[in-house]
Amino acid sequence: MGSQGGFYQSKEFLDLVKSIGEARSKAEEDRIVLGEIETLKRRISDPDIPKRKMKEYIIRLVYVEMLGHDASFGYIHAVKMTHDDSLLVKRTGYLAVTLFLNEDHDLIILIVNTIQKDLKSDNYLVVCTALNAVCKLINEETIPAVLPLVVELLAHPKEAVRKKAIMALHRFYQKSPSSVSHLVSNFRKRLCDNDPGVMGATLCPLFELITIDVNSYKDLVMSFVSILKQVTERRLPKAYDYHQMPAPFIQIKLLKILALLGSGDKQASENMYTVVGDIFRKCDSSSNIGNAVLYECICCVSSIYPNPKLLESAADAISRFLKSDSHNLKYMGIDALGRLIKISPEIAEQHQLAVIDCLEDPDDTLKRKTFELLYKMTKSTNVEVIVDRMIDYMISINDNHYKTEIASRCVELAEQFAPSNQWFIQTMNKVFAHAGDLVNTKVAHNLMRLIAEGFGEEDDTADSQLRSSAVESYLHILGEPKLPSVFLQVICWVLGEYGTADGRYSASYITGKLCDVAEAYSDDETVKAYAVTALMKIYAIEIAAGRKVDMLPECQALMEEFLASHSTDLQQRAYELQAVIGLDAHAVESIMPSDASCEDIEVDKALSFLNGYIQDSIEKGAQPYIPESERSGMLNISNFRNQDHHEASSHGLRFEAYELPNQTVQSRIPPASLASTELVPVPEPMYVRESYQTTIVPSASSDAGSTELKLRLDGVQKKWGRQTHSSATSTSSSTSQKTVNGITQVDGSNTSNSRTRETYDSRKQHVEVTPEKQKLAASLFGGSSKSEKKPATGHKIPKPSSHVVEKSHARKSSMEIASEKKASFQQPPDLLDFGEPTVKSAAPSVDPFKELEGLLEPTTQVASDENHGSTTAAAKSPDIMGLYTETHAGIYDKDDSDILSGLSNPPVTNMFGGTTSMQVAQSSKGPNLKDALEKDALVRQMGVTPSSPNPNLFKDLFG
């Protein structure tokens, strides 16, 4: 059977496709394709090939490239083809070009002119084709060339053109928001378009705009709600129905938008309740598309201001999803559960069995989704079970991308909820050992900081216990063969700081271990550097304690090696170590005080201690320092660059003709203002700066001196900074800010409370959303939440105490989660007492919106009215068409196809194509119709066939 389009390609092409289809191996396929490339290369460069042939060659090129081979030699011919007058040829050219070229390709500049011409064409099909190309090819640089034309097309009488123009503008917005920011009102206008298709397309850019800035679009809430209402009431033309659902794709997009607009906004959300409730009721949960809409409803409900009734409907829908046999629905159910759990944690309880089932499922996708859910519901009571599970899974997979993700989640949960120090250290060890090089180095720095500072500030013995247990476990782990570099760094650091602290291990034992590490991982300089510094610390502690230091022979050998190392960093460290060993106890004590890693280092950024020195120098006649930005030499450069930049951003390329040469400076402004308004102000700052520059020139001679001065300061700062600590962890960075590395300084000030702050932050988000969420969050975490600050501290308390209490809970089955949860559910009644403050906090946010709404009401009213009218109008016209096409449907399938293909294809290829296609079809399709029927039945069982009865659907000819 032939397809409607007919196989109009030449026999050559059919043979090519066939031979590739029959190729037994990849090598054979490659050989065939390479042969084809040679042929095409030869023929395509022939100057007088007929257009029709050329079109086929280009399609063959597309085919070759699709198979993963390089067809770049033919790109230019595809570009040339877009210039053709015949639309059929032009369309092929555009198709090839959009498939071949990325937006940064050099050839694009050659197409812009053609696109400009085609956008102006009076044939709307040409315009559509050009717009398709615009969406793919136009880049930031070329947007100004086509933008005015595309904007004009927004008012085009054909809806297909308007639709594509909207999408093109959307694309422009994605590529360069500033280029179309003044056109945003056009999107609003198109929302009221007569054609539902255009309205639907407009939702895409609006969704993106609203994602970025919700508040400017609050006035549209009523419009969106009324559109959604009309859609669900089947006011759109029948043509938009999909599997008996009224325009589901538009519904989904609208629900997404409403979710954004209603988030944390009670007033807006209240307007949505009715329509979302309606959709819950009307949705057909037996079809896939119905479930897609339902899922979007759940997402919407979980995002907007909570409404008990809707939450109930959402919970019902979720339980239907989870109870379904379909893995797809289970997956969606788990995802939806994760969203809803933030608002109503109690719904997780009834589904725990289903969740556990999903966790055990052999389907990896489902499993990962379930881990994501668990991650969201982790708290101090269930953290051990969940993290253990996660680590087990992490060990079992090979996918590095996901391994990284799950490892960082484990670390995050462990940091946040760890019930005991012991457990924390062990968990981190496991994570590092199995995914060490995949975790972020920041995690390692966090770990070092935690070990240094401990969990509870007030309990020193617990801290030292933590440290000695860390040391012990690390000494044990060092016996294992291959450890990740990051982990080794942590180990070296901890051994250096605390290896001998509790007196259980002798200095020589620890130094021996450190030397082993440096030898075993001799190709990793970072680890070696960590090891040397750790050695230095241990020796320093020994010397400071007044003990005699004997360097182990292997250690001495190591030092000799490092003293001659190619790495200057290692050399430096080795020399420092040598120097430290030669000093007496008092000196060592002062340069390397023990356990000083927790002390904050204050960096005097202004270098005020040098003031006296500078004063002296100035008095002696030195030039004062001039900041880099004010230096005249620099000024010129930066000025030029500035100018360049402005010109580039305003019009990188000129697409309009250059003006006549006799015009002078003044005439420079008009074309610029045409291209964009940005350029106009440029000349002014330029002049200002120029005048400034002249005043500065006399002091230009001081330039060199001042830079030198600055350089010297840099050196001073490095030397005088706390070298002892910075060298402990840093390896190569030289600026004082960075050198000190996570533990003491950069993070020290910032993250010393990060654990509390993290939880505090997440709590804060909850709080910001709604007061009711706050209540629920409190019940989730079991803390009281009178004020915002309390939860943070209230959260910290469980940690030390859980050390005692939860030990008994440790390592029980995950079923325990439920009972734990029940206990926490009993709390909400108490928490309801806090109803008052919730009202208060909601009130101020209500008023402004009310005002806004009041102000904007008339316009939205008009908008929705207009839309309302238009949709009913539109509903009528398609019906006529519908009648027409339906009566023709029968003929259209058979006869028309022949006529169509006959018309569109020249007779010669038709003969070729016709006969070969018949052969091919008969040789493979003909004989086993039975097979086909069986297959179809099977496929149908799986619910995959399109509705029409066609036994040969997708019969695989090569299979």
Partner 1 sequence: MIHFVLLISRQGKVRLTKWYSTYSQKERTKVIRELSGVILTRGPKLCNFVEWRGLKVVYKRYASLYFCMCIDPDGNELEILEIIHHYVEVLDRYFGSVCELDLIYNFHKAYYILDEILISGELQEPGKRTIVRAVAAQDSLVETVKEQTGSISTIIAQASK
Which positions from 199 through 258 interact with partner 1, judged by CB under 8 A?
200-201, 204, 237, 239-240, 242, 247-250, 252
Cβ proximity to partner 1, 54 vs 222, nearer residue: 54
Question: Minimum Å distance from CB 885 to partner 1?
Answer: 7
Residue nearer to partner 1 on the CB measure, 169 or 778: 169
Contact 555, 511 (CB under 8 A): yes
Pick 711 or 883: Cβ nearer partner 1 = 883
- What DSSP line would sit under 912-944, residue for residue? HHHHHHHHHHHHHHSTTHHHHHHHHHHHHHTT-
Q: Which of 34, 155, 823, 899 binds partner 1 (CB under 8 A)?
A: 899
Q: Is 799 in the site for partner 1 (CB under 8 A)?
A: no
- Does 171 help bind partner 1 (rule: CB under 8 A)? yes
Specify whether the CB–CB gap between 591 and 577 falls below 8 A.
no
Binds partner 1 (CB under 8 A): choice among 27, 47, 104, 854: 104
| Among residues 11, 17, 655, 849, the one that binds partner 1 under rule CB under 8 A | 17
Pick one of 884, 919, 931, 940: the residue that binds partner 1 (CB under 8 A).
884
Is there binding between residue 332 and partner 1 (CB under 8 A)? yes
Structure-block tokens of residue 94: 């555009």
Q: Give residues 701-760 in contact with partner 1 (rule: CB under 8 A).
A: none
Under the binding rule (CB under 8 A), the answer on residue 926 touching partner 1 is no
Where are the alpha helices (H) located in 436-524, listed in sequence order?
441-453, 460-477, 485-498, 507-520
Is residue 434 within the footprint of partner 1 (CB under 8 A)?
Answer: no
Cβ of residue 135: shortest distance to partner 1, in angstroms? 4
- Sites for partner 1 among residues 357-416 (CB under 8 A): 362-363, 365-366, 368-369, 401-402, 405
Q: Binding to partner 1 by residue 875, rule CB under 8 A? A: no
Would you count residue 129 as binding partner 1 (CB under 8 A)?
Answer: yes
Q: Does 944 bind partner 1 (CB under 8 A)?
A: yes
Residues ≥6 apart with Cβ < 8 Å to 72: 100
- CA 779 to CA 765: how far, in whole Å? 16
Site membership for partner 1, residue 523 (CB under 8 A): no
Q: Is 947 an interacting residue with respect to partner 1 (CB under 8 A)?
A: yes
Please report, as residue ranges, which positions from 567 to 626 form the binding site for partner 1 (by CB under 8 A).
Answer: none
Nearer to partner 1, 621 or 959 (CB): 959
Residues that contact partner 1, how many (by CB under 8 A): 120
Task: Calculate the CA dihedral of residues 682, 685, 689, 692 and round it to 10 degrees.
Answer: 160
Query: Which residues in the 279-298 window bind partner 1 by CB under 8 A?
Result: 288-289, 291-292, 295-296
Q: Which is nearer to partner 1, 4 or 819 (CB)?
A: 4
DSSP state letter for 786: S
Terminal-residue alpha carbon distance, the chain = 18
With residue 390 as reference, give the H or E element that holds it.
helix 383-396
Query: 3-state class of 245 per DSSP?
Result: strand
Using the minimum distance from each CB to partner 1, give the nearer residue, 102 or 695: 102
291 or 597, CB closer to partner 1?
291
Closer to partner 1 by CB, 251 or 751: give it.
251
Distance CA 230, CA 370 (A): 37
Q: Please select the residue that binds partner 1; options are 185, 286, 396, 948, rule is CB under 8 A.
A: 948
> Nearer to partner 1 by C-beta: 203 or 555?
203
In the region spanning residues 626 to 645, those forming contacts with partner 1, defined by CB under 8 A, are none
Least distance in Å: CB of 766 to partner 1? 20
Which value, to the nearest 10 degrees, does the dihedral of the CA atoms of residues 182, 185, 187, 192 take? -160
Nearer to partner 1, 219 or 296 (CB): 296
Residues 803-832 that bind partner 1 (CB under 8 A): none
Helix (H/G/I), strand (E/B), else coil: 533: helix
Residue linked to tokens 């070990």? 451
Q: Tokens in use for 376?
A: 């969201």
| Chain centre to alpha carbon of residue 850 | 35
**Contacting residue, 83, 117, 124, 598, with partner 1 by CB under 8 A:** 124
Residue 268 beta carbon to partner 1: minimum distance, rounded to whole angstroms: 21
Dist CA 689 CA 701 (whole Å)? 19
Please tell me whether residue 955 adopts helix, strand or coil conformation.
coil
* Alpha-helical segments (H) within 592-732: 611-619, 632-650, 669-675, 683-696, 702-720, 723-729
Q: Is 111 in the site for partner 1 (CB under 8 A)?
A: no
> Nearer Cβ to partner 1, position 855 or 899?
899
CB atoms within 10 A of CB 826: 9
Query: Residue 804 has which token pair?
Result: 């005692």
What is d(CA 835, CA 41) in angstroms, rounded to the nearest whole number?
A: 77
Burial state string for 789-798 with b = 16 or more CB within 10 A and e = fewer than 16: eebbebbbeb
Q: H helices within 213-363, ranges in order?
A: 221-232, 248-262, 266-282, 288-303, 308-323, 327-340, 347-350, 352-360
* Token representation of residue 764: 């804060």
Please list the residues that pair with 242 across neighbouring strands.
245
Q: Nearest approach, Cβ of 309 to partner 1 (angstroms)?
A: 23
Question: Nearer to partner 1 by C-beta: 606 or 903?
Answer: 903
CA distance 143 to 115: 12
User: Near partner 1 by CB under 8 A, which window of 322-330, 488-496, 575-583, 794-802?
Assistant: 322-330
Give min distance, CB of 772 to partner 1, in A: 24
Task: Decide: 210 and 184 in contact? Cβ < 8 Å.
Answer: no
Q: Which residue of 312, 853, 896, 898 would you call a contact of partner 1, by CB under 8 A? A: 896
Of 97 and 518, CB closest to partner 1: 97
- Residues 6 or more apart whose Cβ sits within 8 Å of residue 170: 204, 205, 208
Residue in 904, 915, 923, 928 binding partner 1, rule: CB under 8 A: 904
- Applying CB under 8 A, the span of 432-440, 767-775, 846-854, 944-952 interacting with partner 1 comes to 944-952
The CB-of-651 to partner 1 minimum distance in angstroms stands at 23
Report the site for partner 1 in 57-96 (rule: CB under 8 A): 59, 62-63, 65-68, 70, 85-88, 91-92, 95
Q: Is 190 in the site for partner 1 (CB under 8 A)?
A: no
Among 49, 107, 135, 856, binds partner 1 (CB under 8 A): 135
Under rule CB under 8 A, residue 327 binds partner 1? yes
> What are 922's two structure tokens?
């008969």
Q: How far is the CB of 241 from partner 1 (least distance, A)?
A: 9
User: Least distance (Å) from partner 1 to the CB of residue 345?
Assistant: 22
| 3-state secondary structure (DSSP) of residue 304 | strand
Shorter beta-carbon distance to partner 1: residue 308 or 959: 959
Nearer to partner 1, 658 or 958 (CB): 958
CA distances, 543 to each of 510, 581, 811, 936 (Å): 15, 8, 45, 84
Distances (CA, A) of 181 to 139, 185, 188, 417, 641: 16, 9, 13, 45, 25
Q: What is the DSSP letter of 379?
A: -
Q: Which of residues 25-64 bind partner 1 (CB under 8 A)?
A: 59, 62-63
Minimal distance in Å, beta carbon 40 to partner 1? Answer: 16
Query: Are the beta carbons of 131 and 161 closer than 8 angstroms?
Result: yes
Tell me if 524 sits within 8 A of 563, measured CB to CB. no
Contacting residue, 77, 170, 651, 763, with partner 1 by CB under 8 A: 170
In the complex with partner 1, the residue whose CB is nearer, 163 or 631, is 163
Site string for partner 1, 140-169 (x = CB under 8 A): -----------------xx-x--xx--xx-
What's the rounded Cα separation, in Å, for the pair 518 and 567? 14
